[in-house]
Amino acid sequence: MSVSAGLALAGVSAFTAATSHAYLKAGEDKLAVRVWSALLCAALALPVALWAGNLSPNLWLLLAGFALLSFINQLTMVVSYELSDFSHAYPVARGVVPLAMAILGVFYLGDTLTIPAIFGIFSITLGILALALGRGMSRHGWGAAAFTGLTTIIYSLVAAQGMREADDIVAFLAWLFVTDGILLPIYLAWRFRRDAVPRLRLAWPIGWQAGLLTLISFATWSFAVRLAPVGLVAAIRESSVLIALVLASLMLKERLDQWRIAAGLLIVSGAAAIILGAG
A 10 A CB-CB count for 195 gives 12
Helix (H) or strand (E) segment spanning residue 111: none
User: What's the average model confidence in pLDDT over 159-180?
Assistant: 90
What's the number of domains the chain is made of? 1
Name the band, by pLDDT with cuts 50, 70 and 90, for residue 169.
confident
pLDDT tens-digit profile of 18-71?
788 777 777 788 889 889 999 999 999 999 999 988 899 999 999 999 999 999
The C-alpha atoms of residue 91 and residue 240 are separated, in whole angstroms, by 9
pLDDT tens-digit profile of 225-278?
888 887 777 777 766 666 666 666 666 566 666 777 777 777 777 777 776 665
User: What's the average model confidence in pLDDT over 5-17?
Assistant: 83
Question: What mean pLDDT, rounded, does the chain reach?
Answer: 81
The C-alpha atoms of residue 211 and residue 215 are separated, in whole angstroms, by 6
More confident position, 184 or 247: 184
Instruction: Give me the amino acid identity at 188.
Output: L
Buried b / exposed e over 72-87, threshold 16 CB at 10 Å, is bbbbbbbbbbebbbbb
Query: In sequence order, which residues have a C-beta less than 8 Å from that of residue 192 and are 6 or more positions away?
Result: 199
DSSP code string of 59-71: HHHHHHHHHHHHH
The answer, yes or no, to whether residue 3 has pLDDT greater than 80, is no
The answer, yes or no, to whether residue 1 has pLDDT greater than 50, is no
pLDDT tens-digit profile of 94-114?
666 777 777 777 777 777 777
pTM above the 0.85 mark?
Answer: no
The answer, yes or no, to whether residue 135 has pLDDT greater than 60, is no
Structural domain span for residue 211: 2-277
Q: What is residue 49's predicted lDDT score, i.e. its pLDDT?
A: 93
Percent of the chain at pLDDT exceeding 70:
85
The 3-state DSSP composition of the chain as helix, strand, coil percent (nearest 5) reads 85, 0, 15
pLDDT tens-digit profile of 201-222?
998 888 888 889 988 988 888 8
The answer, yes or no, to whether residue 125 has pLDDT greater than 80, is no
